[in-house]
Structure 1
Amino acid sequence: MIPFEATVLKRGPLSPLIVKLGLYGQLSDHDVDTIGDLRYTAIDYRRNQRITTLSVIPPCVYVMVSGLACLSVLASDGRRQITRFLLPGDFCNVFDAEPIGSIEGIDILAPTRMAAIPAGVFHQLGASPTMHDVLMALVTNASAAARKTIGSLGLGNARGRIAFSLYEFAQTMVVRGLIGAPTDPLPLRQEHIADATGLTNVHVNRMIAQLRRDRILSGSGKVLEIADMTGLRSIAGIKC
């Protein structure tokens, strides 16, 4: 059997999807080959676009190939609550991620490319016993992660909410190989953190400055880097 990492490296644009699915179960060589060979239409989005309908005929499953986006809801006064960040390898319109109304949508936070995979092609992939188990594990994990985030928002103070958001984001990027280490610069802006934690930009700016003084965060200006993951985890109140 070819080592999983070596197999992923040669799979091009859909490698992030293979890496993510591989975290939830053992993919067979056939599954990896099938994903890598999936036909799709590449669609590019520019920063600050808001998408409420993903439509390609025939119906498609959208997977992020590159960039940064989020799922969000808008209040009647225009305020935004980010409910989930979307990274390369994430599904954008399946499971619990499909926008279902005008207040819910996908915001493009950085130039982003999505792969629109024909739904029929993807459903055939899901018919594989190993892929079925992996996809079920992915759904279960997404539900647990959502509950964890709700708990952080409900129980945490401003400092704890920000720490939780940064810790989870950095951990996810590292595990998926999107950055080399948690100390690498993160592609988040302070306004993204504010919208994810329900805080104002001013409050987030003040808390980040404090975390930098405490040497939990580093970087300057808009660049966010984590200097102390253990300390950040402690502030976030995350249990092992």
Structure 2
Amino acid sequence: MKSKFLTGFAVTAATMTGALIHAPSASAFNWSSSWTQPTIYSKEQAGFDDAPYQKYVQQERVAIPNSEQFLLDPTKLNLKFAHDVSVSFINEGAGFRNQLAFTSTGTTNTSGLIFNDISCSGAGCVGAWGGNALKLGDTVKLGNINGGSLLDFGLKANGFSGGTNIFGTQTGQNADGLQHVVAYAIGTRHILLGFEDLYGALGATGGKNQNSDRDFNDAVFVVDVGEKNLRVLKGEKVPEPSIVLSLLGLGAAGLVARRRQNNPAE
């Protein structure tokens, strides 16, 4: 897939940057049987509008398009700034009833289930092949994640119905050794994640292969990481708040000094 890189950063943003807290690297996704479904908020309760994101959900057996968005490395979703992270369900085109979970490692160490049964209900669903657990825009709040944390996501294929294949962001750790998630920067604060839930290469059958369509629309979500974190993930230089305040203080001191030079009576 082609990626579109954004240019033209402001000079002040490019020259003012704090020391980045290095989050750990992603590893194989570990699933816990003790996880339970957290509270799901409707899009009205969460204040989330899923409509602008539905255009990124393609029909069945069609490879997910770049959509002129910024392609991210899903193994490097490092947060530099603290943020109240949430995950919103956009759509699904799966016969499986998949499950989604997350981990945060680094300065914030936490993990948990996000959606126990990814099955779409109501108008606008790409797939409607059993279950009706989620409506478009349903949201789970992951809580405050500190800067210096690495977010990671994993999908248990057909997990609600007893499936055991876990596909994470680490391609080499997936059972079939293939990529099963794509990530894009969308808008000003969101990451779009698209998962493929079938084992094996495109159209492969026999053995464990499941005639995968490799369309990455089996579970589609957006993750709210905040504007500053998304800018950093896209490669922009975002100043630390302390640096901005220091520069403002220096600017104010300079104005006072200039006033005194111009007005000796002061």
TM-score (norm 2): 0.23
Q: Which has the higher helix share?
A: 1
The structure number with the bigger radius of gyration is: 2
Q: Which has the higher strand share?
A: 2
TM-score (norm 1): 0.25
Higher relative contact order (CA 8 A, sep 6+): 2
